[in-house]
Structure 1
């Protein structure tokens, strides 16, 4: 893994953020974990965060994952989108999975919890 790798977790569930951070640091040595608790916060931090990957929840207050992706897709947002985005959700709605599979910015759909095995399968570190 390259030094200085940054993983950006955008999720409103503090327990998920805590457990995922531990699992990511266990699997991915020398990784920096950045967090935001909703899509709006994520957009505001995105330029300074310069992530190598985003793990994005779907259902969040203020701005959910789908709206976050819509804003990223807007022309002229001025963000380098040269990183994979994975939906990480506890949603059981098949429509969410379908939307993730069809969305051009989304690389994968991961059901919570974010285990070490799932992290390895994503090959993000």
Structure 2
């Protein structure tokens, strides 16, 4: 099976989750490249720099974003990313992935039209394959 998505971005502070998700993506050959950031600030710096610097590789086609992280959480990232997302030529599918099952979080995320979906951790292999194909 060949890669369906060239690049996936994981923005999460849970190293176990990052490791598991990365291994599944590699094992199932769902993406050629996996970019990992441990908080929204690191990710935002990357995306802002990729707008102004041609030396940054292409932006990922898929982002998996956690809500609860230190430094810059997922909500802050969504707010900042909304200001720059229009500057990318490629379509980016952003999935909020959280362990929160709070209806307020789910409704809030689903009210953001450009967010692809809200997924509850852990993501199953079947769901991951469906999203990345």
Taking structure 2 as the reference length, the TM-score comes to 0.82
Q: How many residue pairs end up in the alignment?
A: 123
Please give the alpha-carbon distance, in whole angstroms, between the structure 2 residues aligned to 1:14 and 1:120: 21
Q: CA deviation at 1:79?
A: 4.0
Partner in structure 1 of residue 53 of structure 2: none
Contact 1:20 1:115 in 2 (8 A): no
Partner in structure 1 of residue 123 of structure 2: 114
Please give the alpha-carbon distance, in whole angstroms, between the structure 2 residues aligned to 1:22 and 1:11: 15
Partner in structure 2 of residue 89 of structure 1: 98
Partner in structure 2 of residue 41 of structure 1: 42
Aligned: 1:56 with 2:65:
yes
Q: CA deviation at 1:23?
A: 1.0
Moved over 6 A (4+): none
SS in 1 for 2:122: coil
Shift of the 53–73 alpha-carbon distance from structure 1 to 2, 3 Å rule, reads same
- Root-mean-square deviation (CA, aligned residues, Å) is 2.1
Larger Cα-atom Rg: 2
Which one is further off, 27-36 or 88-97? 27-36
Unaligned ranges ≥5, structure 2? 51-55
Q: CA deviation at 1:27?
A: 2.5
